[in-house]
Structure 1
């Protein structure tokens, strides 16, 4: 990267302000989402540790419970509950079912699933903004229609200066 020779005070102040603004954005993100990311990293590190099983000593089997109970017990699922380690919320079953209906060539199946998933807001799909580009559209809500204001003071007739490129600035050329 080349060093810029024509650094004046204005440009130095600009870069200083940009640096401080970016630093504040990073600190703000870390304050909001740092604990979630750190918990996720700890869960991944714990998953990498070898599993130590307790030693089992031979014991007599426990006596079976009496058969006089008429209330059936709740059946447990065969899959154990795993901790939530994803950046995304789980997909609703109705949306997931779209994957298995038809083929993508006929605008069904995966094609229909992805188009339906695309319509969801990022806040409903992700736990937190993953990239900095997410922050631009995060929790904006519904779009608001804005009226165009016709202000002659704000409108510039042309992009170019009326007095030429090297002439002094004319107050009529500036939009204030």
Structure 2
């Protein structure tokens, strides 16, 4: 839109009134609906915040039979020490020693520690399955080698079809 050069006093007063009228409409709208809009914005912001669950206090140890009063004992500590429970078993010292030998750039140190730790079965590393993906490999035992049958009809070369997903089935793709 090009700028109009023939601005006279009448046109200037027209634009001034239009500007003031729009400003008054915006102020009226904000006075009327501003609180509703702010409430909706706060509700949306509260919905986006993550849900915080309450923390549970540690379980109290089972009560033991009372000790005889005649024997003096140490002063009781203010905080009872709870045993540290981890989801992983402790690392054997020989494997832990790999961390401090060499650097990862030379395929030693942390690299060698992780590759050695990866070879252990999950049951020897973790007390219980931590994620649901652990259930697929949990307590499978050592891998069993199966000997291939020499019959060509019984063996399938690949899981996928050789001629595409929507093509007609090839009789060689079926296990009979």
- TM-score computed with the length of structure 1 as normaliser: 0.41
Which structure is larger by alpha-carbon Rg, 1 or 2? 2
- TM-score computed with the length of structure 2 as normaliser: 0.41
More contact order relative to length (CA 8 Å, sep ≥ 6)? 1
